[in-house]
A and B are shown apart, each in its own frame.
Chain A
Amino acid sequence: MSWLDALGLALTSIRRRRARTALTALGVALGSALLVALGSVGSAAESRAVEHLGQGLPVGAIKVAPARPAFLQLNSDEFETRGAHAIDAGTITRVKALPGVSGVLPVQAAPVLAVPSTGGSYSAVMLGTDLGAGGLPVTVLAGRLPTPSSATEVAVAPSYVTRAHPGGSPADALGDRLAVAEPKVVGAPPGAPMVRWFQAVVVGVISEQFAQADLLVPLGQTQAAHAWQGVQQDGSYDPDSPYQQLIVVTSGLDQVHRVRAELYDLGYASAAPEHVLGAVLRYLHVVDIVIAGIGGVAILISALNVANALLAAVRERRREIGVLKSIGAEDGDVLRWFLLEAGLIGLVGGVAGAVAGTLMAILIGVKVVDYLTSQGLVLDPIQLSDVPFGVLFAGIAGSVLVSLVAGVLPALRAARLPMRETVGGL
């Protein structure tokens, strides 16, 4: 008997007992769905935690301040400073040369008032960086980034689109004129501020991931704003530093502590959510283990269900097995027939479970985000792209594999039935 013949036989058997097969596959599907849903939610929770704690910076990013580190700097995620230390071009060169560093971005931020040509001004954070640098961790949703030397181009975050073009798409913002006001606090006590204005054209829309910036401009624009607005009165930072901050991107989370230690040796205070992120990831790992345990139990139950259904099928098909053997079928042919049937049930259940699990994950995500929003925490809901391919594959392949394993015992029993016993009732 060929594999094709065995497959035809398995399909015929499935069609003959549709209800039982459907119920067995449903059991597999429930186990697979649970595994996919829990795996997806766990994975999304981990990525959201990393994103949230990273404050819009890439994973493994470290912020460096123009200040010397205090003694306990490496025990803290925040800047711990003990005096000013300018960040200049030499600093950038030295930091770039550190092992484990994959990128260094000098940045300047300024509090501004953005005034779209459509009206409705709003407070914003304007961030300037070296837009000519490669590997900028910015997602461009529409248009392009400003030209590095331009004084009249700006990229905006989606918050601008929401304000200036309610219900519109990022592309609608391209070409808009935007006026930007940079206030300067004067007098003691502070009175109405003096304001420096510049006008720019929106050339791009970026995601809000990059350091939570509302406006992204070339570094020169924020350096001009910094020169105008003056120094915030905080003696811990160097007011004359050419760069207000560096964002150091490491090659992975595991490199963060080592690079921070190197920065400490170079004499710079740094901040990165390594301790809090480590603690959160440890908790999430425990949750992952619990999730895997629950999924494993669900799969085990579905495996027992498959084995039970196939054992019943063996009892029902004794005569068919006998007839097959009497016309020359080997034990291996019967084994193949039952194993293929088990595998088909696992495949159908696995695919259905993967689809159902994905939908369950999205629904759970909506509920969780609703709850967190009511608690004042803004997170993106789970989307289709958040469901890891590995989890989907594990859901389907795992179902097939477990069904095959569960089908081994019934298949062996069917294959080893003596022909005399199987046709004895004829």
Chain B
Amino acid sequence: MTRAGAAAAAVLALLAGCSGQAPQATRTPAPAPIVEARIYVAIGASETLGVGAQEPASQAWSTVLYRTALPQPAVFYNLGEVGATVDRALQDELPAALAEHPDLVTVWLNTNDLIHGVSPTAYQADLDRLLSALAGAGVARLLVANTPVLSDLPAYRACADPHAAGPSCAFTAGPVPAPAELDRLVEAYNSAIAQVVARNHAVLVDLHCQGGTATQHPAWVSADGFHPTAEGYAQIARAFRAALLGSGCYRPD
């Protein structure tokens, strides 16, 4: 096998995940598309790639949204990058997105910025540059997700007791904020996101309004205590779907 062939095989194995489960031999009816779009681009980080799910590529919220909300001829580009901040997305993901001339773009980038200690002001400026570029390129629909509640995530709680069994602390890039401080930071980020969204005539996907889903639905958080499971991703996809329909805050059952 050539080096390129080996890389392709490794990439496909990574995308497929490690599922060996036999599929259910039932045909689900094709869901009716809720938005007319030809080209959909997802800009984001590991969550956009489905990290934490058993089959990341097919169970990522962005893929679920594509398969359930868009018409069949639509093409979807998942440009998510593990560990991406808005600054990195401006360099890597934005050019690739603009090259495809999308008419629907989703952006979910905030947690890595927050973990890496990017100030809300700097974050707001970076996000504004990103959304302005997309809006300026004529993207018809631009959806931007805010920051969900982070303080109840097992990967955050593990920071208080690094020697405890279970997930390891996800806040490794700097000092770990206290819960109240973390909530304030999330508030500040979400305020910045709301302002940038309004300025660029985008649609806000409110993930924070759902509250502490990790406490309410532990099964929606994967073993790393940070990323969602396939079930969690399905709920996130529903939140984006609700935003596309203009339904406001999506609250899971």
Query: A: which residues have CB within 8 A of B?
Result: 111-113, 115-123, 151-152, 163-168, 172, 175-177, 179, 181, 183, 185-186, 190-201, 232-234
Output the least CB separation between A186 and chain B (Å): 8
Residue of B nearest to A179 (CB): B67
Give bound CA distance, A190 to B81, whole Å.
11
Taking CB atoms, residues of chain B closer than 8 Å to A111 are: 8-9, 11-12
Taking CB atoms, residues of chain B closer than 8 Å to A186 are: 92
Taking CB atoms, residues of chain B closer than 8 Å to A115 are: 55, 57-58, 63
B12 to A113, Cβ gap below 8 A? yes
Query: B: which residues have CB within 8 A of A?
Result: 2-5, 7-17, 19, 21-28, 30, 46, 49, 55, 57-58, 63, 66-67, 72-82, 92, 96
Taking CB atoms, residues of chain A closer than 8 Å to B25 are: 118, 164-168, 172
A197 to B63, Cβ gap below 8 A? yes
B2 to A164, Cβ gap below 8 A? no
A196 to B77, Cβ gap below 8 A? yes
A116, A117, A165 — most chain B CB neighbours (10 Å): A117
Contact for A194 among B7, B75, B78, CB less than 8 A: B78
A179 to B63, Cβ gap below 8 A? yes
Given A113-B12, A151-B73, output 16 extra A-B contacts at Cβ < 8 Å. A113-B15, A115-B55, A116-B23, A118-B28, A120-B21, A121-B19, A123-B13, A152-B72, A166-B23, A168-B25, A186-B92, A191-B81, A191-B82, A192-B49, A197-B78, A201-B72
A121 in contact with B58 given A166-B22, A175-B27 (CB within 8 Å)? yes
What are 29 residue pairs bridging A and B, where the CB atoms are less than 8 Å apart in the complex?
A111-B8, A113-B16, A117-B28, A118-B28, A119-B24, A119-B58, A120-B19, A121-B17, A121-B55, A121-B57, A152-B72, A164-B25, A165-B25, A175-B27, A179-B67, A181-B15, A181-B58, A183-B8, A190-B7, A196-B75, A196-B76, A197-B75, A199-B74, A200-B72, A201-B72, A232-B4, A232-B8, A233-B3, A234-B2
Give bound CA distance, A197 to B28, whole Å.
19
A185 to B11, Cβ gap below 8 A? yes
A123, A179, A199 — most chain B CB neighbours (10 Å): A199
A121 to B11, Cβ gap below 8 A? no
B96 to A194, Cβ gap below 8 A? yes
Give bound CA distance, A122 to B4, whole Å.
19
A232 to B11, Cβ gap below 8 A? no
B3, B5, B78 — most chain A CB neighbours (10 Å): B78
Give bound CA distance, A210 to B197, whole Å.
51
B22 to A120, Cβ gap below 8 A? yes
Enumerate the 7 nearest inter-chain pairs by beta-carbon distance, A residue then B residue, closest first: A120-B23, A232-B4, A123-B12, A197-B76, A119-B23, A111-B8, A115-B58
B78 to A195, Cβ gap below 8 A? yes
Output the least CB separation between A214 and chain B (Å): 11
Taking CB atoms, residues of chain A closer than 8 Å to B13 are: 123
A121, A175, A201 — most chain B CB neighbours (10 Å): A121
Taking CB atoms, residues of chain A closer than 8 Å to B8 are: 111, 183, 185, 232
A190 to B73, Cβ gap below 8 A? no
Give bound CA distance, A120 to B13, whole Å.
13
Taking CB atoms, residues of chain B closer than 8 Å to A151 are: 73
A152 in contact with B57 given A120-B19, A181-B15, A194-B96 (CB within 8 Å)? no
B23 to A183, Cβ gap below 8 A? no
Give bound CA distance, A115 to B28, whole Å.
13
A164 to B11, Cβ gap below 8 A? no
Taking CB atoms, residues of chain B closer than 8 Å to A123 are: 9, 12-13, 16
Taking CB atoms, residues of chain B closer than 8 Å to A168 are: 25
Residue of A nearest to B96 (CB): A194
Give bound CA distance, A111 to B24, whole Å.
25
Residue of B nearest to A175 (CB): B27
Output the least CB separation between A220 and chain B (Å): 13
Taking CB atoms, residues of chain B closer than 8 Å to A201 are: 72
Give bound CA distance, A200 to B30, whole Å.
11
B8, B14, B17, B67 — most chain A CB neighbours (10 Å): B8
Give bound CA distance, A28 to B30, whole Å.
63
Give bound CA distance, A165 to B75, whole Å.
26
Give bound CA distance, A115 to B82, whole Å.
22
Give bound CA distance, A191 to B88, whole Å.
14
A198 in contact with B75 given A176-B27, A185-B7, A192-B14 (CB within 8 Å)? yes
Output the least CB separation between A319 and chain B (Å): 76
Contact for B73 among A118, A152, A172, A181, CB less than 8 A: A152
Residue of A nearest to B22 (CB): A166
Taking CB atoms, residues of chain B closer than 8 Å to A121 are: 15-17, 19, 55, 57-58
Give bound CA distance, A115 to B23, whole Å.
11
Residue of B nearest to A196 (CB): B77
Residue of A nearest to B80 (CB): A192
